[in-house]
Chains A and B, each alone.
Chain A
Amino acid sequence: MTSVATHEGALSLRGLTKRFAAFAAVDGIDLEVRPGQLMALLGPSGCGKTTTLRMVAGLEQPTGGEICFGNSTFVSTADEIEVSTHRRNIGMVFQSYALWPHMTVFQNVAYPLSVRKVASAEIKRRVCAVLELMELGALIDKTIPQLSGGQQQRVALARALVYEPSLMLFDEPFSNLDVHLRAQMRMELKRLRRKVTMTGLFVTHDQAEALSVADSIAIMHGGRIQQVGAPQDIYKRPATKFVRDFLGRVLSLHGSYDAAGGEARVRLADGTMLSCDAPESNPGSRVEVSIRPEFVKFYEDGEPARANTVTGTIEELLFTGDRFETRLHLGGEHVFTELPAGRPWHEGDAIRLELPMAALSVWPDK
């Protein structure tokens, strides 16, 4: 099996800015991607993630800042350096795949090599190797319209890998696939990364995709980076409310900060006290305590009460298959959340929940 060579070199963006008239699509971001690391740029549409990726590719010109890779500077507005896209030696998988319809699978994948004037025997060997790697060997002479979406996706990946680029860029590569194929392609990318070392940037608006494929995630919002970190850390310990809400569902309750007895606690509307790992705050200030629904614990009938327990009633229940969508009256307020399927929940039932201290986060409430 050919192994794509490891290319030493970190990607760094410094003060990268892209302005369209008065609007800053990308607003002075700094980001480091270590060699061999796959960094996801995650955010809602319009957050500037695709613009950032296209600036790394050289398809858009920044209005400020610089992009360096290894020892070379791709672009720097201060030094007026700009390396053309075709000289950056990068690989890119487009959202639309951008396969050329007038060429066969082989010709598409061979193109980057032929542009680099590689000898034709060598081209054949390397194209066959990468198609084998992508399990596309049987499709080598097919034309692009004859392929399914998933196959086109793999050809696009093969075309980006074949010349062993030093840096891989993915622009929402799986978003045109259906749910099943998308899961399959994520597995495939993971398998591929065991065989091929790649440094890369992966743009997506799908948090599950970012969490599952990337080594590190940078969450963008309004042209700025909100938080950078490993998937598990960032999921459990979001730095901002935006990150918290974007990465998954939360159950949030409102109350006031109470530091009596040296222990940080939050008093809910119905008087329940919740212990939590809260940063110092003024006693009495309004706060919001949040927890991801999967960390909530439910009481069996007749179990004795434990710490951090809130009580309430089930007001509405909607069965959605793998869970119930519900509205609870909990801790003295109305909240929307979810309950696991597999228990006989009923509207009007009383309910007791334990919110473990380790899973709670506390936020100032405006």
Chain B
Amino acid sequence: METQRLLFAIVLLTTAFLVLLPVVLLISYSFVESLPGQPLNLGFDAWRHAVESPLIMGSLVNSVLLLLSTHSISLPVAVVIAWVLARTDLPFRNGFEFMFWISFFMPTLSILMGWILCLDPEYGLLNKLFELLPFVDKGPFNIFSFWGIVWGHLATHAITIKVMLLTPIFRNIDSSFEEASAICGANRVTTLIRVMVPAVTPAILAITLIAMIRAMQSFEIEMVLGSPIRLYVYSTLVYSLIEQEPPDFGAASALATIGLGCLLPLIFAQRWVGLRRQYVSVSGRMKSASVRLGPWRTPVFLAICTVVLILTVIPIVFLGLTSTMKLFGFFNIPEPWTWGHWATVFADESFRQSVINTLQMSAGAALVAIVLLSLIAYFSVRSSFKGRSLLDFVSWLPAAVPGVLFSLGLLYAFLEIPLFRPLYGSMALMIIAAVMGSMTLGTQIFKSAMLQLSRDIEEASAVSGATWLRTFRSVVLPIVVPTVLLVGITIFITAAREIASVSLVATGGTKTLSLLQLDYMVQGRYGPAAVISFIVILMSTGLALAARALGLRIGLKN
């Protein structure tokens, strides 16, 4: 009992410190008027500036508009796809589900790179294709636009995540709901709209809230597609306020605080809906017969094929093409193909350094996460200590705070507190940032594994005469070994492709592969960017398949 209490105190203090300190600093900095190094001077200047600045208010409006557009397209599409995958006799539906799963692990930036190559206003291959048509002077697509950003979201995660969350929910609905509706005379579309969708409404509501929270955090797509046309959302504006010369910490903090304020009601709503999720009309019997698509089989099959191709194969093919083309988009020059970009990248010292950095950071984050998150999960599931709910809340906060803001908070903490200043620019800081970025997902996976572990299993060990530590070591950990590996791999992948939460704490010496990729993309160096995108995709997909082999089923348990 005593060892357990001591360990709990250590875990709680460490986590609370790492999570809460950056958030507190972030908010308090919006009231500081003096520059770093000068005597402290508090005031509301930054706030006044933020409220008056059209750029800052405009960025919030952009965030909301993008959210609405993306969600109102992706939700209906995802509902239909999830229903088809879960409830019909569509051929290859398991294969399609697997492809969505793969798509979930695809690094956003790389897929986005593929689409830039298709839809760039000057060189985009789709535009070139259109220009081959008579009477068309200029291709119609421009990815560097509002709708380009919406497309970027749809083609990366917006649809995928919803399909993964909704499919198991549709699958678990008792088919007598559908059968009763059919007997009452309703056709399949009516049944889907009038019976099935209402049955999953609580789940859809929860997913919508998750989508809204994620939209407030979204960063890379807006960074790459919005910056060139000076279309800012609030996360990219925070970033550019810090990266500009001189950085405007006050305005960035004020904007960050407003963003957090907008998120709070969403977060509480999401928790509330999440807690009531038991209400979803899922019966214990789980009888689910499949609906025959009949003549619709072929069109539905083709439609879902198209979605899957858009999400995975098409962008990868374009990445491959571009990485081996002398001049991207120009097929008619003599000898258009080259390995030159690959050679350039591999010869680049900063590439090699960033590969090493990525491996160090991801491996470090995976190790730290396994130890810290397994204990957090154990204590929140199993113990009855007083601070348990605080620990639970703190472990879950990083999912709600946008990565860029976390990065900014960590930057403050490690620049301003003399004790930590030596860590600035070190790998340790990157590892901390990466662990923060994946804390909630990792803890969640551990928790679901530990919830399935019956309490008897531990009690039997105590009755047999084992101490708590012995029980944790000999019984709990060995049983969750697959989960440990799983969390390790998942954290490795997410850390390797993480951009937002490490963006502001990285320095020249600790830059990771995905940050290098971002640099190349922002600079418009598409050749090397495509090469790195390709490498990152190979790495993520390989590890994702390994995780799959270990039994990761995201979506089934959440």
Q: Which residues of A contact B (CB under 8 A)?
A: 57-59, 84-92, 94-102, 111-112, 115-116, 159-160, 163, 169
Contact = CB atoms under 8 A, between A and B. Distances in A.
Contact of A163 (B459, B462, B464): B464
Given A94-B459, A111-B474, A102 B464 contact: no
Interface in B464-520: 464-467, 470, 474-475, 478-479, 481
Contact of B479 (A90, A91, A96, A102): A102
Given A94-B456, A115-B470, A102 B478 contact: yes
Contacts of A57: 459, 463
Most buried by A among B1, B459, B462, B463: B463
A90 B463 contact: yes
Contacts of B474: 111
Contact of B475 (A88, A100, A159): A100
B182 interface: no
Nearest to B477: A102
B454 interface: yes
A56 to B, nearest CB: 11
A170 B46 CA distance: 68
Nearest to B459: A59
A98 B467 contact: no
B459 A98 contact: yes
Contact of A96 (B456, B465, B466): B456
Contacts of A115: 461, 464-466, 470
B457 interface: yes
B454 A112 contact: no
B459 A89 contact: no
Contacts of B479: 100-102
Given A85-B462, A115-B465, A159-B460, 20 more contacts: A57-B463, A58-B462, A59-B459, A59-B463, A86-B464, A86-B466, A88-B463, A89-B465, A91-B463, A92-B459, A94-B459, A98-B457, A98-B460, A100-B457, A100-B475, A111-B464, A112-B465, A116-B465, A159-B464, A163-B465
A116 B1 CA distance: 19
A90 B465 CA distance: 8
Contacts of B466: 86, 111, 115
B465 A86 contact: yes
Given A98-B457, A100-B457, A100-B479, A112 B464 contact: yes
Interface in B424-458: 454, 456-457
A92 B465 contact: no
Contacts of B478: 102
Given A101-B479, A102-B478, A102-B479, A86 B457 contact: no
Contacts of A96: 454, 456
A111 B478 CA distance: 14
Nearest to B479: A102
Interface string B509-538: 000000000000000000000000000000
B458 to A, nearest CB: 8
Contacts of B462: 58-59, 84-86
A307 to B, nearest CB: 56
Nearest to B466: A115
Contacts of A112: 464-465
Contacts of A160: 463
Contacts of B461: 100, 111, 115
B454 to A, nearest CB: 6
Contacts of B467: 84, 86
A169 B470 CA distance: 22
A99 B460 CA distance: 8
A81 to B, nearest CB: 14
B47 to A, nearest CB: 46
A92 B465 CA distance: 11
A45 B459 CA distance: 21
A308 B466 CA distance: 62
Contacts of A58: 462
A51 to B, nearest CB: 14
Nearest to B480: A102
A85 B463 contact: yes
A235 B481 CA distance: 51
A88 B475 CA distance: 20
Contacts of A89: 465
A295 B479 CA distance: 55
Contacts of A59: 459, 462-463
A69 B281 CA distance: 50
A352 B478 CA distance: 69
Contacts of B470: 115
Contacts of B460: 92, 94, 98-100, 159
Nearest to B456: A98
Contacts of B459: 57, 59, 85, 92, 94, 98
Contacts of A101: 479
Interface in B8-55: none
Contacts of B481: 102
* Residue of B1, B462, B478 with most partner-chain A CB within 10 A: B462
A273 B463 CA distance: 58
23 contacts: A57-B463, A59-B463, A85-B463, A86-B463, A86-B465, A86-B467, A87-B465, A90-B463, A92-B460, A94-B456, A94-B460, A96-B456, A98-B457, A98-B459, A100-B475, A111-B464, A112-B464, A112-B465, A115-B461, A115-B470, A116-B465, A160-B463, A169-B463
Contacts of A90: 463
Nearest to A87: B465
A163 B456 CA distance: 19
Contacts of B454: 96, 98
A264 B441 CA distance: 76
Contacts of A92: 459-460, 463
A163 B462 CA distance: 14
A116 B466 CA distance: 8
B1 A84 contact: yes
Nearest to B471: A86
Contacts of A111: 461, 464, 466, 474
A285 to B, nearest CB: 51
A112 B474 CA distance: 12
A101 B460 CA distance: 13
A170 B456 CA distance: 13
A143 B535 CA distance: 42
A84 B478 CA distance: 24
A94 B470 CA distance: 20
